[in-house]
Amino acid sequence: MKKQTAAITAVGGYVPDFVLSNKVLETMVDTNDEWITSRTGIKERRILKKENAGTSYLAIKAAEDLLNKSGVDPKEIEFVLVATATPDIPVAATAAFVASEIGATNAFSYDLQAACSSFLYGMSTAASYIESGRYKKVLLIGADKMSSIIDYTDRTTCIIFGDGAGAVLFEPNDEGLGLQDEYLRSDGVGRQFLKIDAGGSILPASEETVKNKQHYVYQDGKSVFKFAVSNMADVSALIMDRNGLSNEDVQWLVPHQANRRIIDATSKRMGLEADKVMMNIHRYGNTTSATLPLLLYDYEKQLKKGDNLVFAAFGGGFTWGSIYLKWAYNS
């Protein structure tokens, strides 16, 4: 009996209208367009300016885009998983609110947090629910309002991050398409290099933590870059080797959009030409959990049934990994 696989059958996405360009950042912090572009590959990023709107707003927009394009009845969705590092509020799951707002009234839902690897880990989770045979339609959304946790006087972080969301629908497949293999890793040594100090159970919010700006992202750029370059490249090469894939067999690398140099190092290790590497970092910056689905959103029309895609990500924690997926439809 053929194993039931979990395939992506629909894609949606959303980015806010407001564009924060490098030129605008030059007026905010001591930096310039040439410096940012040469070191990160980023030209602009989108920022959610709508009042009282959080990550759920982005997630709902991306999900609605997917539903409108695919014609799927939201009541048929059985599970809504929101991958995010910036939930609307503590305790109450953002995913539960998103599911209700899009009309997925028959779905259960929860959030998944693994920093920039959140969507990658979410793919594994969503696919597992499908492969088990218990569910037929799983909606996975990667969404982050990074502007809510960024200090715009800190030039080491404010140049990198943006806001956005992407969504995919996982369904059963009997043609052997969809998720083929995964290699997911984590290492707690990374906690000191990429974090938000306050607001958790170790250091709850106080007047002092707010005054000390301890609710914003802190990143030791050099250490994170060093770990990310080697680990993202390693797992991508490993997933190819484990599945007998040559560089000619891989149609697309779908890499987390943190830094152009990390992406280039990964594709070089895999032996892939630039035209096989999905890239939108220049337009959106690092949208954390949303980078991978936004790549699929931007490149969907170029994808063909049977294409071999290798996903790779690296995030805080540290968390990282790679997934090999066969595309299931012609757009």
- Give the pLDDT confidence of 37-93 residue by residue, as tens digits: 999 999 999 999 999 999 999 999 999 999 999 999 999 999 999 999 999 999 999
Can you give the C-alpha Rg of the chain in angstroms? Answer: 19
* Catalytic position from the list 22, 231, 259, 286: 286
Cis status, amide bond into 193, omega within 30 of 0: no
pLDDT of residue 331: 85
CA pair distance 185, 311, nearest whole angstrom: 14
Q: What pLDDT digit, counting tens, does each position of 180-211 carry?
A: 999 999 999 999 999 999 999 999 999 999 99
**2 pLDDT exceeds 70?**
no
Region 180-327: CATH code:
3.40.47.10
* Catalytic position from the list 173, 231, 256, 259: 256
- Contact criterion met (CB below 8 Å) for 110 and 21: no
The pair of three-digit structure tokens given for residue 124, joined into one six-digit string: 């594994």
CA pair distance 233, 217, nearest whole angstrom: 25
Annotated active-site residue 256? The verdict is yes
* Catalytic position from the list 116, 158, 173, 259: 116
One CATH from 3.30.1370.100, 3.40.47.10, 3.40.980.10, 1.10.10.10 for 5-176: 3.40.47.10
Domain definitions of the chain by residue range: 5-176, 180-327
**11 pLDDT exceeds 80?**
yes
Q: Do domains 5-176 and 180-327 have the same CATH topology?
A: yes
CA pair distance 105, 92, nearest whole angstrom: 17
Q: What pLDDT digit, counting tens, does each position of 300-327 carry?
A: 999 999 999 999 999 999 999 999 999 9
Q: What pLDDT digit, counting tens, does each position of 258-312 carry?
A: 999 999 999 999 999 999 999 999 999 999 999 999 999 999 999 999 999 999 9
